[in-house]
């Protein structure tokens, strides 16, 4: 529903004159002649007339005025474009994220910057992307997690594709392109770093009780998906950086699979993670026994 157009001021000539006359005793008590023939009353009526014209014009927004307002927003009408469409574009820009300020802004703009790299979507049509952002952190330093680096923002690109080796050969150029995109949109005093994920290997060896021997493939797929850095985790949005993996996580996951009776044995080699680190499944063994 459109917002009603406000009436900025509805005072007319008579009201303005009456208001001015009501103030005379306060500011000029010696002024007692309020007849129209009095020069002071003539000036009051003259200024009331001018004020009424100004108030009327204040409520009248012409097409030319609207175009000037659009220019102030950085929106200019294209050749042959209707004014209503230009206003729609001008309003729409307020819904778009252009300037990187918060961590969410950096995550969103990093995705946009990657998508605008020429040819990347054609070369890697199955490319899956997750972006992470760490405020006051310089991930390009070896001891990034040990102390804060005020004014630094690190964006982590988590990329997955069937052509992962080809992608890794181009990762330096990809990071540089995303960094250039963010540099054009960051705050003046912010230093942006675009880096690859810092992975830590995890190994899982489990014995599952089930009647169907073929269920091992289902279990392996479920565990791999759960630990996936892009689409894993309990919310399906990628494994949370820094979150430790516990045996109870895998018990809960696997024993909820239809056809699995219970997890008979589990060996888990899961290192502690720093707040910016993710898991990479190094080894997964699933044995099924009846």
For domain 103-195, the CATH architecture is 2-Layer Sandwich (3.30)
Query: Per-residue confidence at 146, pLDDT binned at 50, 70, 90?
Result: low
Rounded Cα distance, 28 and 32, in Å: 9
Res. 145: pLDDT tops 60:
no
Measure CA 260 to chain center: 41
CA distance 172 to 189: 24
pLDDT confidence band for 267 (50 / 70 / 90): very high
pLDDT at 127 over 90: yes
Q: Over the stretch 46-60, which tens digit does the pLDDT of each residue have?
A: 999 998 888 887 777
HEC string for 171-182: HHHHHHHHHHHH
Structure pTM?
Answer: 0.67
- Residue-wise pLDDT for 93-103, tens only, equals 777 778 899 99
Q: Residue 257 — very low, low, confident or very high, per pLDDT cuts 50/70/90? A: very high
Q: Tell me the pLDDT tens digit for each residue of 2-17.
A: 557 666 667 889 999 9
- 46/41 Cα distance (integer angstroms): 9
Domain ranges of the chain: 13-58, 63-95, 103-195, 200-289
Q: Which residue has the higher pLDDT, 138 or 178?
A: 178
Give backbone dihedrals phi and psi of 172, rounded to 5 degrees, phi first: -65, -45
* pLDDT of 176: 95
Once rounded to an integer, what is the mean pLDDT over residues 118-129? 93
Give residue 214's Cα distance to chain centre.
43
Burial grade of 32 (CB within 10 A; 0-12, 13-18, 19 or more): exposed
Tens of pLDDT, residue by residue over 202-238, are 999 999 999 998 899 999 999 999 999 999 988 888 9
Whether the predicted pLDDT of 64 surpasses 80: yes
Bridge partners, 202 (sequence order): 281
- Hey, CA dihedral for 242, 245, 249, 250, is it positive or negative? positive
* Confidence at residue 195, expressed as pLDDT on a 0 to 100 scale: 94
Would you state the pLDDT for residue 3? 59
Q: How far apart are CA 145 and CA 198, in angstroms?
A: 11
Distance (Å, rounded) from C-alpha 129 to C-alpha 47? Answer: 66
């Amino acid at each position: 529903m459109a917002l009603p157009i406000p009436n900025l001021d509805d005072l007319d000539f008579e009201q303005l004159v009456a208001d001015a006359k009501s103030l005379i005793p306060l500011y000029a008590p010696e002024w007692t002649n309020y007849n129209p023939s009095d020069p002071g009353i003539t000036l009051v009526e003259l200024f009331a007339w001018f004020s009424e014209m100004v108030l009327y014009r204040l409520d009248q927004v012409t097409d030319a005025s609207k175009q000037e307002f659009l220019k102030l927003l950085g929106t200019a009408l294209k050749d042959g474009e209707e004014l209503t469409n230009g206003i729609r574009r001008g309003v729409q820009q307020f819904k778009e994220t252009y300037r990187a300020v918060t961590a969410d802004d950096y995550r969103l703009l990093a995705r946009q910057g990657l998508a605008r790299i020429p040819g990347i979507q054609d070369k890697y049509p199955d490319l899956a992307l997750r972006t992470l952002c760490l405020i006051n952190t310089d991930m390009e330093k070896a001891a990034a997690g040990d102390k804060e680096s005020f004014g630094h923002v690190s964006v982590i690109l988590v990329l997955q594709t069937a052509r992962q080796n080809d992608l890794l050969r181009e990762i330096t150029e990809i990071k540089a392109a995303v960094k250039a995109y963010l540099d054009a949109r960051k705050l003046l005093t912010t230093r942006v770093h675009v880096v690859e994920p810092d992975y830590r290997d995890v190994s899982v060896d489990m014995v599952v009780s089930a009647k169907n021997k073929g269920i091992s493939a289902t279990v392996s797929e479920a565990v791999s998906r759960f630990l996936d850095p892009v689409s894993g985790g309990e919310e399906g949005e990628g494994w949370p950086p820094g979150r430790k993996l516990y045996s109870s996580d895998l018990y809960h996951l696997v024993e909820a699979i239809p056809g699995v009776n219970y997890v008979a044995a589990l060996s888990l080699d899961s290192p502690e993670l720093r707040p910016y680190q993710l898991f990479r499944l190094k080894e997964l063994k699933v044995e099924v026994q009846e």
